[in-house]
Amino acid sequence: MDDIYRRIPHRPPFLFIDKILEINEDGARASLTIRPDFSFFEGHYPGNPIMPGVLLCEAVFQTGAIFLADHLKSESLTDESITPVLSRIRDARFKRMVKPEDIVEISVTLGEKMGHFFSMTGEVRKEGKVALTISYALAMVKEEPKK
């Protein structure tokens, strides 16, 4: 987990990546084991727990932030005052349900860069089959000085 903690500010209970599988020049892959003890399963849905789609999206966004942390090492966008912030979601498509005990693989690919905004595509796969596809953008935002 230290390799994740070094790259992004997310922490449990709002961290939806267990392992970084690969980071290359075009994107990254990570994985998450869906634990039955995730607290949101108590209400989504009792008796038939399903991983909320918005949290699958969040796993993709976090994988994108991990990629950008490595991708931007050579630029001045990786200091502690920079936070990856979601700026756009387009075309999220949910194709399969994800349940407790499933292991999902999350992948992201970098698209266009405009200033501090990065367009990306992502997907979540369960047992090799697509569960989610999404297009989105992350902005690297510098924390404003405290007054």
Catalytically active residues, by annotation: 44
User: At a CB cut-off of 8 Å and minimum separation 6, what does 128 contact?
Assistant: none
Give the Cβ contact number of residue 127 at 10 Å.
Answer: 10
Half-sphere exposure of 39 (CA within 13 A, CB side): 4
- Provide the strand spans (E) within the chain: 19-23, 27-33, 82-94, 103-114, 117-126, 129-142
Q: Report the alpha-carbon distance of residue 119 to residue 135 in Å, rounded.
A: 7
Is-contact 131 98, C-beta < 8 A? Answer: yes
Give the Cβ contact number of residue 124 at 10 Å.
Answer: 26
